């Protein structure tokens, strides 16, 4: 196991930020922690990256206890936090070289690796400028270059795409996918962007109030907790009523909830035709992770305003 | 394998790099002490000379520069680069010691600049004393820098706290050390406060040393005061850094 936590808990005075999280992540997994602001995602990551000690419970990262073997853990992991890793008065290339030196690389090697990462992240034009003059997207790429510098076997990213425009967000996701494909890096990221969790991760862990409330692949989460929706539109109110009665659907805007919706459409149409009903339009709606969250908590993630 | 020394060197050279990349930042930070020099020196009472005044100004510029240095760390705490460093295998004490040691470099540059500016006006420099004086000043700066970083770590996200404490302490320390005006003729309570201010001993030592009086009691006290500030500053600072998240 790359990560193994048991009842991991963090309390800040009156707030229980993380409330007994038990979690295993295997080597090579790409996991997204999804949850609203204040759910405890960052706090979980900060415990796993040795930044703060747990109040209770335990966590092992790469087989090493995060409290008693901090320095060894730090050697193995990369961490790209919510903020910007590069000092604003520094130059990007200098910061990359310092990063390499921090992991014990000789200057010459650190310099070569810096150049390599600058090229692969397209930072050539800006690497020798003060970090304070870079755009948000450029800074984020620099953060990623720093996180990848020592080629960690396990990479944590906290809200990696917050503040990025769609173009940069897509670039970032591409990098994450490539990293995984080319190096088999285990990746744990947090996000409150549903689409990101959905398109990027094979495993989504939904967190709310410091607890895991669901943990599965996006597809299975949707199938299990929501199911597909089939929306039938009729020419008249009366027809709609009859159809609903016939299908005994959970009524809401003439929607029918079903497992594997598209495959059921022909059957439903056949049933309706037998009763002399013809819908004006048929639409199947696959659920989003937001629907999953809504079902699980009664709240929508979309109401959340992003916060740094 | 890395050791505390190599870790400290990594942090030290990282801190120093922006200074070396824009050396003029040191010159700009000199404007204030030079103003004090230009505006105060003509007002000096009879009998007090440049020889008395300039060493105090050198210590003052050291105080101004290093007491503010924590704001760099404060900024890095806010932006996230401090957090990034905390996750690297760099030893925590190195994160503080490397930063504090870097304070020596701008301090040296400032002292040299002030002396160069004052020599044409009749300030006499005694090389051996000056070297010894700068050594004492280096210790003082490291300690002050460490304390400033400690204040930054304690302030974390409350920038106002850092600046309030820094500004509140700055002028009492300065005035009580007798940098701008002599303390000797003041009331007893003022002399007492001056006596418990370590900077007083540093300033007195610098005055003697720059004047060529190397092997004096004042030099000894200055050395002890600077070493004490350095030791206490580093100890407190390292503890704060070890607790930093
Ligand atoms: N250092 C801290 N001191 C006090 N409370 C904190 C601290 N860090 C986080 N919290 C609280 O813990 C909860 C979880 O925060 P966080 O882990 O940052 O959530 P997320 O990253 O999911 O948005 C929030 O209520 C937050 O206010
Ligand atoms: Mg967070």
- Segment A184-216, tens digit of pLDDT: 999 999 998 888 888 899 999 999 999 999 999
pLDDT at B2: 62
Max CA pair span of chain B? 61
Which pLDDT value is given to residue A251? 47
Q: What is the DSSP letter of A81?
A: -
In A49-165, alpha helices (H): 70-76, 92-102, 107-120, 136-148
Residue of B nearest to A75 (CA): B89
Sort out which chain A residues have CB atoms less than 8 A from B7's CB and list them.
102
From chain B residues 75-134, the ones with a CB under 8 A of any chain A CB are 75-76, 78-81, 83-91
pLDDT mean over A86-95: 96
Q: d(Cα A72, Cα B82) in Å, to the nearest integer?
A: 19
pLDDT, averaged across chain B: 93
Residue A308 has what pLDDT?
38
Which residues touch A26 (CB under 8 Å, ≥6 apart)?
A1, A2, A186
Chain B 24-63, CB below 8 Å of chain A: which residues?
none
Give the separation between CA A276 and CA B164, rounded to whole angstroms: 80
Over residues A141-153, the mean pLDDT reads 94
Please answer yes or no on whether A87 and B76 come within 8 Å at the CB atom.
Answer: yes
Distance A158 CA to ligand 2 centre (A): 7
Sort A146 into a burial class: Cβ within 10 Å, 0-12 / 13-18 / 19+: buried
Binned at pLDDT 50, 70 and 90, residue A227 comes out as confident
On whether the CB atoms of residues A151 and A183 are closer than 8 A, the answer is yes
> Is the pLDDT at A255 greater than 70, yes or no?
no
ipTM of the prediction = 0.91
A99–B80 C-beta distance less than 8 A: no
- Sheet strands side by side (includes A15-25): A15-25, A3-12, A56-61, A64-65
Of A50, A77, A85, the CB nearest to B81: A85
Pairing of strands A64-65, A255-258: unpaired
Distance B139 CA to ligand 1 centre (A): 40
Q: Who surrounds ion ligand 2 at CB < 5 A?
A: A 42
Residue ranges of domains in chain A, CATH in brackets: 3-221 (3.40.50.300), 227-286 (no CATH)
Confidence of residue B47 (pLDDT cuts 50, 70, 90): low
Contact yes or no for A147/A77 (Cβ under 8 A): no
B21 touches chain A (CB under 8 A): yes
Ligand 1 closest atom vs CA A159: 21
Is the pLDDT at A252 greater than 80, yes or no?
no
Instruction: Inform me whether the pLDDT recorded for B167 exceeds 50.
Output: yes
Distance (angstroms) between ligand 1 centre and the Cα of B144 equals 33
Reading the block at residue A242, the tokens are 């009859």
Residues with CB under 6 A from ligand 1: A 12, 15, 17, 35, 37-43
Higher per-residue pLDDT: A78 or A293: A78
The number of distinct structural domains making up chain B is 1
Q: Residue A253 pLDDT > 60, yes or no?
A: no
What order of strands is seen across the sheet that includes strand A186-191?
A77-80, A154-158, A186-191, A30-34, A203-208, A211-216
Residues B161, B167 contacting (CB under 8 angstroms)? no
- Give backbone dihedrals phi and psi of B112, rounded to 5 degrees, phi first: -60, -45
Over 90: is that where the pLDDT of B82 sits?
yes
Mean predicted confidence (pLDDT) in A216-238 = 85
At residue A56, does pLDDT exceed 80? yes
Angle of helix B159-176 relative to helix B50-68, nearest 10 degrees, comes to 160
Residue range B206-237, pLDDT digits in tens = 999 999 999 999 999 999 999 999 999 999 99
CA B161 to chain centre: 20
Long-range contacts of A151-154 (CB under 8 A, 24+ apart): A151/A183, A152/A76, A152/A77, A152/A78, A152/A185, A153/A2, A153/A27, A153/A62, A153/A76, A153/A77, A153/A185, A153/A186, A154/A2, A154/A3, A154/A61, A154/A62, A154/A76, A154/A77, A154/A78, A154/A185, A154/A186, A154/A187, A154/A188
How many residues in chain A? 308
Q: What are φ and ψ of residue A189, in 5° steps?
A: -125, 155
Q: Which of B89, B95, B241 to mutate to test the interface with A (most CBs of A within 10 A)?
A: B89
For residue range B173-204, list pLDDT tens digits in order. Answer: 999 999 988 888 899 999 999 999 999 999 99
Angle between helices B217-243 and B198-210 (to 10 degrees): 130
**CA B136 – CA B134 distance, rounded (Å):** 5
**CA A189/CA A183 separation, integer angstroms:** 17
Looking at CA atoms only, how far is residue B237 from chain A in angstroms? 18
Greater model confidence, B69 or A172: B69
Q: pLDDT tens digit string along B120-165?
A: 888 988 999 999 999 999 999 999 999 999 999 999 989 999 999 9
pLDDT for A306: 47
The answer to whether A209 touches A19, Cβ cutoff 8 Å, is yes
A252 forms beta bridges with: none
- Say whether pLDDT at A84 is over 60: yes
The predicted pLDDT at position B217 comes to 95
Q: Nearest residue of B to residue A50 by CA position? A: B87
The encoded tokens of residue B199 equal: 């900077």
Mean pLDDT (whole number) for B28-47: 79
A10, A12, A53: residue to mutate for ligand 1 pocket, most atoms within 8 A of CB: A12
Q: Above pLDDT 70, what percent of chain A?
A: 94
pLDDT band at A153 (very low <50, low <70, confident <90, very high): very high
Q: Which of B165-172's residues contact partners 24+ apart within 8 Å by CB, and which partners?
A: B166/B67, B166/B68, B166/B70, B169/B67, B170/B63, B170/B64, B170/B67
Rounded to the nearest whole angstrom, what is the distance from the C-alpha of residue A45 to the centroid of ligand 1? 11
A220 has a pLDDT exceeding 80: yes
Of the candidates A89, A90, A103, the beta carbon closest to that of B88 is on: A103
Of the listed ranges A169-173, A204-208, B165-169, the least confidently predicted one is A169-173
Contact residues on chain B for A90, CB-CB shorter than 8 A: 14, 17-18
Q: How much is the pLDDT for A307?
A: 44
Distances B26 to A94, B18, B193 between C-alpha atoms, Å: 20, 11, 32
Average pLDDT, chain A: 89
Q: Ligand 2 centre and the CA of A160: distance in Å?
A: 10
Res A280 pLDDT > 70: yes
| pLDDT over 90 at A303, yes or no | no
> Domain range for residue B112?
4-243
Per-residue b or e along B139-157, where b marks 16 or more CB atoms closer than 10 Å to that residue's CB: bbbbbbbbbbbbbbbbbee
Helix (H) or strand (E) holding A17: strand A15-25
pLDDT given at position B38: 86
Residues 256 through 275 of chain A touching chain B, CB cutoff 8 Å? none
Work out the widest C-alpha separation in chain A, in whole angstroms. Answer: 80
Interface test with B, best of A12, A43, A87 (most B CBs within 10 A): A87
């Amino acid at each position: 196991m790359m990560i193994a936590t048991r009842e991991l808990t963090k309390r800040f005075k009156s707030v229980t930020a993380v409330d007994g999280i038990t979690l295993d992540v295997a080597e090579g997994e790409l996991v997204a922690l999804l949850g609203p602001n204040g759910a405890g995602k960052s706090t979980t990551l900060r415990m796993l990256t040795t930044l703060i000690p747990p109040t209770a419970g335990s966590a092992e990262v790469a087989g090493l206890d995060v409290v008693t073997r901090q320095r060894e853990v730090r050697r193995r992991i990369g961490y790209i936090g919510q903020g910007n890793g590069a000092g604003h008065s520094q130059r990007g290339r200098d910061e990359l070289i310092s990063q390499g030196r921090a992991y014990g690389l000789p200057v010459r090697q650190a310099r070569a690796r810096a150049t390599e990462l600058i090229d692969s992240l397209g930072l050539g034009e800006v690497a020798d400028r003060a970090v304070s003059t870079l755009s948000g997207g450029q800074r984020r790429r620099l953060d990623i270059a720093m996180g990848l510098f020592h080629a960690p076997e396990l990479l944590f990213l906290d809200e990696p795409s917050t503040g990025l425009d769609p173009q940069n967000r897509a670039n970032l996701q591409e990098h994450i996918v490539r990293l995984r494909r080319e190096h088999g890096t285990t990746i744990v990221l947090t996000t409150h962007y549903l689409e990101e969790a959905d398109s990027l991760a094979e495993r989504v862990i939904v967190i709310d109030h410091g607890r895991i409330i669901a943990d599965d692949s996006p597809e299975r989460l949707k199938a299990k907790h929501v199911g597909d929706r089939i929306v039938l539109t009729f020419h008249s109110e009366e027809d709609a009523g009859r159809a609903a009665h016939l299908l005994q659907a959970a009524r809401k805007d003439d929607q029918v909830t079903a497992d594997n919706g598209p495959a059921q459409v022909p059957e439903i149409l056949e049933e309706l035709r037998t009763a002399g009903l013809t819908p004006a339009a048929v639409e199947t709606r696959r659920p989003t992770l937001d629907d999953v969250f809504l079902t699980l908590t009664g709240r929508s993630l979309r109401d959340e305003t992003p916060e740094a | 394998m890395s050791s505390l020394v190599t870790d400290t060197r990594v942090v030290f050279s990282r801190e120093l790099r922006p200074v070396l990349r824009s050396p003029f930042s040191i010159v700009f930070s000199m404007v204030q002490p030079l103003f004090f020099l230009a505006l105060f020196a003509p007002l000096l009472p009879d009998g007090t000379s440049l020889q008395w005044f300039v060493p105090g100004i050198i210590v003052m510029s050291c105080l101004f520069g290093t007491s503010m240095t924590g704001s760099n760390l404060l900024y890095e705490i806010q932006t996230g680069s401090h957090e990034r460093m905390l996750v690297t295998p760099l030893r925590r004490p190195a994160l503080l010691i490397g930063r504090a040691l870097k304070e020596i470099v701008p301090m040296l540059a400032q002292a040299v600049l002030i002396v160069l500016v004052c020599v044409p006006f009749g300030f006499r420099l005694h090389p051996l004393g000056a070297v010894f004086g700068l050594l004492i000043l280096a210790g003082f700066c490291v300690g002050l820098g460490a304390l400033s970083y400690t204040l930054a770590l304690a302030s974390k996200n409350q920038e106002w706290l850092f600046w309030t404490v820094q500004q509140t302490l700055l002028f009492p320390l300065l005035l009580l050390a007798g940098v701008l005006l002599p303390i000797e003729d003041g009331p007893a309570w003022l002399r007492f406060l001056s006596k418990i201010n370590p900077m007083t001993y540093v300033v007195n030592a610098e005055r003697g040393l720059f004047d060529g009086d190397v092997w004096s009691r004042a030099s000894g006290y200055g050395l002890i005061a600077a070493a004490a500030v350095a030791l206490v500053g580093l100890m407190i600072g390292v503890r704060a850094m070890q607790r930093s998240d």
